[in-house]
Structure 1
């Protein structure tokens, strides 16, 4: 009987350890995110850099406010889910049905949030000038 309890406890401990490592790995994100794509090389504006930590920790923005996986018209993304590159679903060249092309998806997501906060009279990031977000190309 004692061996069974130790085996059960050991199994539970291993499962807990692997689960926590998986969650930590999934949430291990660089603070500075640079939004860029080879598809944008022809555009005049440069990449956009943002602070992931500032958005998630300081502003308390939920993961699913930026990241999404739609099933049956609902965003089912949860914290800890693997994050795909936006270009895996959003084509850089053209919109396909309800899925916006990559540049439009970025702009709708970021500008939509910032403009919504501005409209509500809350503090927000840039909303007016392209260069407030986009770096100058070198």
Structure 2
């Protein structure tokens, strides 16, 4: 009788260990993330291959510098493997802001314009990446192709 109980306990412990190990493996973030999103019918430019590992390992960029709350404040407590929402969850309109909308918002304040722009997924991504890259290049004194990419073709492969 004791052997049967011990066997069941060992089996349950083994199954629990497998689930735990699978969860740990699944929760690590890949080094390269294709910035592909089902919200787009088609992509006119090449898919950005975001070097996630390079950003947080090599450049020691904290998770919260890209991942933020609804007010744009960094999510300071994030660590690798934590669940995060995709950008499209909050920046819901796929693509860039159309010219007509840019014309409509010309008279708004800078803050109001930016709030409207951030509704657009591509605008939000571009602002986040490009602004950070420009600041990095300025800090390091990089010019042209020496620093972090800031042009369309540098990020979007053909």
- Establish whether TM, by shorter chain, passes 0.5: yes
Aligned length: 114
Instruction: Give ranges in structure 2 of 5+ residues lacking alignment.
Output: 1-19, 98-111
Shift of 1:82: 2.1
The structure that is strand-richer by fraction is 1
Q: Based on CA coordinates, which of the two structures has the bigger radius of gyration? A: 2
Shift, 1:104, TM fit: 0.4
Pair 1:115–1:29, CA change in 2 (3 A): same
Q: Greater shift after overlay, 41-50 or 57-66? A: 41-50
In the other structure, the counterpart of 1:125 is: 148
Partner Cα separation in structure 1 for residue 42 and residue 25 of structure 2: 35
**Structure 2 counterpart of 1:102, from 100, 121, 124:** 121
Pairwise CA distance, 1:111: 0.4
Number of the residue aligned with 2:131 = 112
Could you state the TM-score of these two structures normalised by the residue count of structure 1?
0.66
How far apart in 2 are the matches of 1:77 and 1:34? 24
- After TM superposition, the score normalised by the length of structure 2 is 0.59
Task: Give, in angstroms, the shift of residue 24 of structure 1.
Answer: 5.1
Unaligned stretches of 5+ residues in structure 1: 1-19
The answer as to whether partners of 2:47 and 2:156 remain within 8 angstroms in 1 is yes
Q: CA contact under 8 A between 1:26 and 1:82: conserved in structure 2?
A: no
Map residues 53-64 of structure 1 onto 2, 5 A cutoff: 53-64=53-64
Give 1:37 deviation, angstroms. 2.1
For residue 87 of structure 1, give the secondary structure of its aligned residue in structure 2: helix
1:33 corresponding residue in structure 2: 33
| Ranges of 4+ aligned residues in structure 1 off by more than 4 Å | 23-27
